């Protein structure tokens, strides 16, 4: 069996701390949507308690296989009503804390998967 170093093309999370995430060399301190190809700031500015159906429906525009919800410093699960657009489109949603979502994003992105991470910083 031959092993070799594989490098990820596109966005990867290179650091995370309370209230911030670093993607490549740039640090972000607001909630955002992350794909291997794009970074969109301003997602869910009111945090977890302010999430609405439109926030999750917006994620469909990225055509994901799976959405990772980084719910902040603790695991929180959105009401099924809020994620109905994803369910109807047969797109998986995994809720976890934001650091875990970042680690999982890096793994799935390295595998070439169509992954979207919706990361809450608060």
- State both tokens at 85: 């657009």
Model confidence over 17-57: pLDDT tens digits?
999 999 999 999 999 999 999 999 999 999 999 999 999 99
Instruction: Name the pTM for this structure.
Output: 0.91
- Kindly tell me if the per-residue pLDDT of 4 is higher than 70: no
pLDDT of residue 8: 55
Choose among 121, 22, 14, 118: nearest CA to 72.
121
pLDDT of residue 7: 55
- State both tokens at 121: 């910083």
Confidence of residue 122 (pLDDT cuts 50, 70, 90): confident
- The answer to whether 34 and 116 are in contact (CB under 8 A) is yes
Confidence of residue 9 (pLDDT cuts 50, 70, 90): confident
What distance in Å separates the CA atoms of residue 24 and residue 54, rounded to the nearest whole number? 28
Choose among 27, 30, 113: nearest CA to 68.
113
| Domains, in order of start, for the chain | 13-119 (3.40.1230.10)
Cα–Cα distances (Å) from 18 to 105, 112, 120, in that order, read 18, 28, 11
């Amino acid at each position: 069996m031959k092993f070799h170093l594989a490098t990820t093309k596109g966005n990867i999370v290179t650091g995370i701390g309370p209230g911030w995430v670093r993607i490549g060399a740039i640090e972000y301190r607001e909630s955002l949507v992350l794909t291997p190809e794009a970074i969109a700031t301003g997602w869910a500015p009111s945090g977890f308690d302010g999430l609405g159906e439109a926030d999750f429906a917006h994620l469909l525009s990225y055509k994901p296989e799976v959405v990772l919800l980084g719910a902040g410093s603790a695991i929180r699960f959105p009401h099924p009503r809020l994620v109905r657009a994803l369910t109807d489109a047969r797109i998986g949603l995994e809720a976890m804390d934001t650091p875990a979502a970042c680690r999982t994003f890096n793994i799935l992105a390295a595998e070439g998967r169509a992954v979207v991470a919706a990361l809450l910083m608060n």
